[in-house]
Amino acid sequence: MPKWLMKFAVKAHLGLHRDVPELVFQHPRRTYSVYLQNADVRPGIALPLLHAYVVYEAENIDVAPEIGGRHLGDFIDTLTFCTGARFRKHQRLALFDWTPGVAERHGRIYKSQPNPNVPELILDQSLIPALEVCLVAENTEALRRALRWFSNGVSASYQDEQFQMFWFAIETVAVFSGGAEKVPDRCARCRTPLYCPSCAEVSTHRPYPKQKIDALFKKHVTSDAEKFFLAADAMRNALLHGDAIKGVEEAHGLTLAQLVDIVGKIAWVALLTAIQQTAEPESEGRKIRLVQPTTFLHYRVEPTAFVAFQSPAGREPTFADIPQFDMEMEVARTEPGT
């Protein structure tokens, strides 16, 4: 099977010792190797970086990037546990055929560009009334806590973190604002109310937090509320218990990215409703301006160059043989309203 080399930049709070030019890790099962080198670890630097070279096998160049990223993720998670220090995958830099004996090595060079539409210059005085109404309405610790979870979800870098922060916001709102009316016990399989022949009535109980969340979904989702709640609840359980999220995505036909936007929007409208209910009486009828994004996901542009290189005759390639070049990209920005 072909062998591949994938190069990454890794955010790191630990660097290699001055006497160690390269740290080499070979997986005990020989599934992959990782070679770490200091990239920029000057004391006090804002973004300390390591270079990680991952060598592994994959069937072809189309599946190799995902496999390489997964291997590095497993390695970083374990390295974090073993050191107690922060390591994060920053960006992928290159992918090349590393099969022994190949004369010309084909691969890809990745460059990362920030989202050209960030920041958007839209803040103005018209947002002040909304801030005033919301801040005055936040007269309970529970509402402030829910807003804090929502804020953390918007700012989180990773989708699994975003999902969990938004879920916490929804759960907090559901618990402090949900009604106390009894709800029916439901069949775990078909979710229809359970009827007790002896009592000749449907069995009921006070709603659990998850049932209050279900009620929020039904209140704020116009169609397929049950489908979205079951998918989001399954994803929450998978993330909480360390299960594979791919199984949840396949079972419910919704990706984690799609669920992030779904729970983000439900959290937003649930918070808005809670703020309206707790707003000061003098705010009634006051017009305010709010901004809601089309997506809560964070994107950046990654141009890719398809290149090849040859190592000097008579030897196998080294990491230093990987070509280095800059790519410049111009993005036409569309201003709001045009």
Total-model pTM: 0.71
Tell me, letter by letter, the H, E, C secondary structure of the chain: CCEEEEEEEEEECCCCCCCCCCEEEECCCCCEEEEEEEEECCCCCCCCEEEEEEEEECCCCCCHHHHHHHHHHHHHHHHHHHHCCCEEEEEEEEEEECCCCCCEEEEEEECCECCCCCCCCCCCHHHHHHHHHHHHHCCCHHHHHHHHHHHHHHHCCCHHHHHHHHHHHHHHHHHHHCCCCCEECECCCCCCECEECCCCEECEECCCHHHHHHHHHHHHCCCCHHHHHHHHHHHHHHHHHCCCHHHHHHHHCCCHHHHHHHHHHHHHHHHHHHHHHHCCHHHCCCCCCCCCCCCCCCCCECCEEEEEEECCCCCCCCHHHCCCCCCCCCCCCCCCCC
**pLDDT tens per residue across span 280-327:** 666 666 778 888 888 998 877 778 888 998 988 888 899 999 988 776
Share of the chain above pLDDT 90, in %: 48
Please determine, for residue 237, whether its predicted confidence score (pLDDT) is greater than 60. yes
Q: What is the pLDDT of residue 39?
A: 95
pLDDT band, residue 204 (cuts 50/70/90) = low
Q: Residue 69 has what pLDDT?
A: 95
pLDDT number for residue 338: 42
Q: Which residue has the higher pLDDT, 8 or 278?
A: 8
Position with higher pLDDT, 273 vs 138: 273
Better-scored residue on pLDDT, 44 or 189:
44
Q: Report the mean per-residue pLDDT for the chain.
A: 86
Q: Is the pLDDT of residue 188 over 70?
A: no
Tell whether the model's pLDDT for residue 99 goes beyond 70: yes
State the pLDDT at residue 154: 93
Is pLDDT larger for residue 191 or for residue 46?
Answer: 46
What pLDDT was estimated at residue 4?
Answer: 96
pLDDT given at position 331: 58
